[in-house]
Amino acid sequence: MARTLEQISTRQGTVQALQADLDRMFAMAETTCENVRRITSAQRETAESRELLADIRRQLEEVSDMGRTLDERERQMTRAEERLARAEGFLGDVRSGLESLQGQKALVDQAVEKVGALRFLLKQADAMIDGLRDERKMTSDVQDAKANGNDDGDDAEVARAA
């Protein structure tokens, strides 16, 4: 009986040790299940993060493309501004040339007016010269008639010449 009690006591120690081992195993199994749940959740989160990261990567590529497009537009704007500056310089040259031409046109207009006035004066001078020639011819005719000595005929000739 002592032996049986001892065996029972040993078995009870073994059962308690097994009970402790089983409790540890259940605790470990619960911890493992909790870890598996966490890992599964983390895998889902990782998959979602990968999708989100892929979306962000696509958006970054689009932004990068827009940046390159903006850089190209900036270069085009710089070239356009340079062309505009050259065109403005050219426009300034054209304006100064135009002002110079307008000044010259004013001189030409004055010259044309003076030429017109001179032509009028020349016509008047030609008319006066013709009138003076006629008067000189008439005076010469009158003097010739006086010199010929026809006193009676002189009066008739003078009347005829006039």
User: Tokens at residue 41, please?
Assistant: 């959740």
User: Domain count of the chain?
Assistant: 1
pLDDT at residue 151, as a whole number:
53
Contacts of 150 (CB under 8 A, 6+ apart): 157
Q: Which residues of the chain have pLDDT under 70?
A: 150-162
Domain membership of residue 62 as a residue range: 2-161
pLDDT at residue 156, as a whole number:
55
pLDDT at residue 4, as a whole number:
81
- CA 30/CA 62 separation, integer angstroms: 47
